[in-house]
Structure 1
Amino acid sequence: MGKAGSVLRQVLEEFEVSQYSLAAALDIERNSVYRWANEKSDPSAETVLEIVRALKTLNPQAAKAFVERYLGDEVQDL
């Protein structure tokens, strides 16, 4: 599976954001977040943007870390 799930799991653990709270912020079922975080499925590009927006409301530092780790050097140059 893709990189998004791995990065999401790291960020959720590091910033102590629960899968349930992220799911609630996204207005989806928790099992979707579980599948992404455990690399059983990948979020779409549109969903990645929604994840960033949801993380911003829950913990702006977590959102920043997710973007930096997921996009890496691509955002450094912007």
Structure 2
Amino acid sequence: MARAGKALRQVLETYNISQNQLAVAMGIGRSSINRWVNESRDPSAEAVIEIIEGLEKINSSATRDFLVLYLGRIVENDNQT
């Protein structure tokens, strides 16, 4: 699987975000980020949501890039009421 880890590593490098910065933004230990980035463990679905929220606190462009790299595309909400 490891797609999330690869996407996360690329985004952190591209936007010069440290693993510690993301860990602080997510309120977790840096070791979890390190395991994901080094692909020794995949983040759970809940953790992916937390990654997205953490990246959003740091850089919204990084969030968008993570989603594109992880999902392959971003699905826009077409439901307008």
TM above 0.5, yes or no, is: yes
2:64 is matched by which residue type in structure 1? K
Provide structure 1 residue ranges, at least 5 long, that are not aligned to the other structure: none
- The two structures, once aligned, show a CA RMSD in angstroms of 1.3
Match of 1:40 in 2: 40
2:38 is matched by which residue type in structure 1? N
CA distance in 2, matches of 1:47, 1:13: 20
2:61 is matched by which residue type in structure 1? Q
Larger radius of gyration: 2
**Percent identity for Structure 1 against Structure 2:** 47
Matched, 1:20 2:17: no
Provide structure 2 residue ranges, at least 5 long, that are not aligned to the other structure: none
CA distance in 2, matches of 1:35, 1:52: 17
Structure 1 segments of 4 or more deviating over 2 A?
A: 75-78
Name the count of aligned residue pairs.
77
Residues 42-57 of structure 1 aligned to structure 2 (within 5 Å): 42-57=42-57
